[in-house]
């Protein structure tokens, strides 16, 4: 009966458990759908507005730079 029952010896008191796998299970992240992520939804909804505004500013800017560096005139605005 003593062989089946596990008892601690006095010399085992105060010893640390052996290093190895942690006793707690690893923390798992739960999947959050894209529609529930505030940052992602905000970015997706704001992207078309930023693209349109950038296009409305960038296209005329680069056309103005190209025209200023060319020999175009008012009567003939084609870029050579």
In order along its 80 residues, the chain shows pLDDT tens digits of 555 555 555 665 666 666 666 566 667 778 888 778 788 889 999 999 999 999 999 999 998 898 888 887 777 767 66
**What pLDDT is stored for residue 22 in this prediction?**
58
**Helix, strand, or coil (residue 79):** coil
CA dist 43 and 2 (Å) reads 68
CA distance 20 to 26: 14
Confirm if 35 and 41 have CB atoms less than 8 A apart: yes
Identify the pLDDT of residue 77.
66
Coil/strand/helix, residue 34: helix
HSE-CB of 33 using CA atoms within 13 angstroms: 2
Per-residue model confidence (pLDDT) at position 61: 94
Give me the pLDDT at residue 53, please. 93
pLDDT at 65: 92
């Amino acid at each position: 009966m003593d062989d089946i029952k596990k008892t601690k010896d006095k010399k085992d008191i105060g010893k640390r458990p052996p290093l190895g796998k942690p006793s707690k299970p690893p923390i798992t992240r739960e999947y959050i759908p894209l529609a529930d992520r505030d940052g992602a939804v905000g970015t997706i909804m704001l992207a078309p507005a930023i693209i349109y505004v950038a296009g409305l500013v960038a296209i005329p800017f680069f056309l103005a730079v190209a025209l200023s560096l060319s020999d175009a005139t008012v009567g003939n605005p084609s870029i050579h």
